[in-house]
Structure 1
Amino acid sequence: MPVNTPTPTHVIKRDGAIREFDLAKIAVALARAGQAAAEFDAARAQQLAQQGVLPRLQALGPVTPHIEQIQDAVEATLFDAGHRATLRAYIVYREQHRKLRDARRSLVDVEASMNEYLQQTDWRVNANANQGWSLGGLIL
């Protein structure tokens, strides 16, 4: 990697928020995964972050990476370094958290729908004059 390759300064979170890029957070995530799989320690995690993940992110050019791109770079680094058990654990962890985010989003959607129905702010409640305060009206 050329010396003048830009290092990311910010990251785009899943909600679209832009935060400061922090390679130490990546190293901590790698260390936790490596220790959970009993493959490597914090020093090796720091090395993987610095020599594996960072160059992959720099290869993206002068763009602000999305959190998913960073996690993909972590997976590629673990694969290339031969840390298969850690890679599996990292992928499973990532998928579990995706499911948790989806479940939280569904819960919020249900709560919002209930509130819209009860406060009669949902156009579907007002549009159906034949439905009163009933389960059928809520299911709209």
Structure 2
Amino acid sequence: MIKSVIKRDGRVVLFDEGKIAAAVLKALEAAGEGDAREAARVANKVTRHLEVDCGEESPQIEQIQDAVETGLMECGHDEAAKKYILYRANRTRIREANTSLMKTIDEITNVDARISDMKRDNANIDGNTAMGSMLQIGTAGAKAYN
């Protein structure tokens, strides 16, 4: 029986099959392929699959999401699986963009302009001043957004 899950940041939280059912339901609704009862059935199948694969070990979020994809396909919900896969890919892209942006902001905020090429992008801005840093952060945010 699965008791806990390892989150992406390493935290360990209690396992909740209801969260799997909720994610499956969203995918089923997006594809127009099922209801809450079907979502619960798929979630139960996913949980059983994880128990076999992980044994006494706590699964990681990625393992659970992979099992959800497989469970959806095994239950004949190919369109819902496709929607779920696309949603996962989009969330991964957003997470990576946020991480990159945060690293950029950290460099702009904490590194001297004589060391950071990023802070010397525009010769008209003194990267060591508060206004220079704010302009650089705005530029970095706009690049990440666009």
TM over 0.5: same fold? Answer: yes
Structure 2 residue aligned with 1:108: 102
Give unpaired runs (5+ residues) of structure 1. 1-6
1:34 is the counterpart of 2:28: yes
- For 2:100 and 2:41, locate their aligned partners in 1 and report how far apart those are by CA, in whole Å: 39
Give unpaired runs (5+ residues) of structure 2. 122-126, 128-146
Letter aligned with residue 72 of structure 2: L
> Matched residue pairs, number?
121
Question: Secondary structure in 2 aligned to 1:98?
Answer: helix
- How far did 1:47 drift? 1.0
TM-score by length of 2: 0.77
Q: Which structure dedicates a bigger proportion of its chain to helix?
A: 2
Aligned ranges 1:8-19 → 2 under 5 Å: 8-19=2-13
Structure 1 residue aligned with 2:67: 73
Between the aligned residues of both structures, percent identity stands at: 38
Alpha-carbon deviations, 1:87-126, whole Å to 9, x = none?
00000000000000000001100011111215x8xxx83x
- Give the CA RMSD over aligned residues: 2.2
Question: Secondary structure in 2 aligned to 1:105?
Answer: helix
1:54 is the counterpart of 2:9: no
Structure 2 residue aligned with 1:135: 120
Question: Secondary structure in 1 aligned to 2:55?
Answer: coil
